[in-house]
Structure 1
Amino acid sequence: MTASKATISAIAGALAIGAFLLWWTPSGGPASDEHIVAVTVPQLSVRAERGQELFAANCAACHGDNAGGTEQGPPLIHRIYEPSHHGDQAFLIAATQGARAHHWGFGNMPPVEGVSERQVVDIVAYIREVQKANGIF
């Protein structure tokens, strides 16, 4: 894929997500006891191992060790973030551009400074492998 096609694809994805967020009105997130979940980490691929290191350095402060959530941010190992609802592009946009709060009451997510798109791909690989190991498809 050429750079211009990739850029167009990224813009189209961002517009689709933005349109959805403008249209969708949250009916409230899960009950408050659902914001921290127990997580089983499987044997990881090499890409997901890189993603695990990047996640620990850039995401765990808010999303918890192994993406199980904290008092500052939601768990990513949760059915809300299954691929059919939040595709990989949604994670890329959230990390690089930030995201408006729409499922949880933690507030808006700011962009993650210093994380490249390539690194986000590895982080998403880690999240998806851990999700699958925890029954989230």
Structure 2
Amino acid sequence: MRTVLLAATAAIAAGGAWWLSGQSDAKPTGDALVAVTMPATLSPGAEAGQQAFAANCASCHGTDAEGREGIAPPLIHKVYEPSHHGDMAFVLAARNGVRAHHWSYGDMAPVPGLTDAELAGIIRFVREVQVANGIR
């Protein structure tokens, strides 16, 4: 019995040490994750989308969708190219939220209040910036 108690105590202590080692006092910095080249011009739909992005997405994903260290991933990244995350993936993420699966920033909450037109513009903005950065 004593051996079992000692083993259980050791396992609990080891588990606690492991958990504590994963904790960090570091706060998110919000620094840009990728360098983004903006297109020389945006289509009218993407210009409207840029405004909607600024109002609804930029606080987490950065002004130019470059991502923010410790906060949210860059959308100007190969992971979000249309062949891997089509436009509907953006729609579903904004409408329903999305569980973290490519990055370790945690789950994304739904973005309330976006109209279909705003969401379409946001997607157009992101896609045009992706193309300017070689993501097709």
Q: TM-score, normalised by structure 1?
A: 0.73
Q: Which moved more, 1:113-122 or 1:87-96?
A: 113-122
Distance 1:106 1:64 in 2: 14
SS of alignment partner, residue 113 of structure 1: coil
Cα deviation, 1:87-115, whole Å, max 9, x if unaligned, reads 00000000011001000000000000111
Instruction: Compute the displacement of 1:117 (Å).
Output: 2.1
Matches within 5 A, 1:9-24: none
Is 1:83 equivalent to 2:82 in the alignment? yes
Larger helix percent: 1
Which residues in structure 2 correspond to 1:95-106 (within 5 Å)? 95-106=94-105
Q: What are the ranges of 5 or more consecutive residues in structure 1 without an aligned counterpart?
A: 1-34
Report the 3-state secondary structure (helix = DSSP H, G, I; strand = E; otherwise coil) of the residue aligned with 1:103.
Answer: coil
Aligned length: 103
The aligned counterpart of 2:51 is 53
Task: List 4+ stretches of structure 1 deviating above 6 A.
Answer: none
Per the normalisation by structure 2, the TM-score is: 0.74
1:65, CA displacement in angstroms? 1.2
The structure with the largest alpha-carbon Rg is: 2
Residue 40 of structure 1 aligns with which residue? 37
Secondary structure of the residue aligned to 1:65 is coil
- What is the distance in 1 between the residues matched to 2:63 and 2:96? 23
8 Å contact kept, 1:51–1:126: yes
Q: Which amino acid in the other structure matches residue 80 of structure 1?
A: V
Question: Sequence identity of aligned pairs in percent?
Answer: 58
Residues 8-51 of structure 1: CA deviation (Å, up to 9, x unaligned)? xxxxxxxxxxxxxxxxxxxxxxxxxxx70011111100000000
Counterpart residue identity of residue 105, structure 2: F
Contact 1:88 1:124 survives alignment (8 Å)? yes
Q: For residues 50-75 of structure 1, what are the alpha-carbon distances to aligned partners after superposition, in whole Å with 9 as ceiling and x for unaligned?
A: 00000011000110110000021000
Please give the root-mean-square deviation of Cα atoms over the aligned residues, in Å: 0.9
* Counterparts of 2:93 and 2:115, CA distance in 1: 12
For structure 2, the 5+ residue unaligned runs are: 1-31
CA contact (8 A) 1:96 1:117 kept: no
User: Cα offset for 1:116?
Assistant: 1.6
SS of corresponding position for 1:48? helix
Q: Aligned partners of 1:47 and 1:80: how far apart in 2? A: 23
Equivalent position SS for 1:54: helix
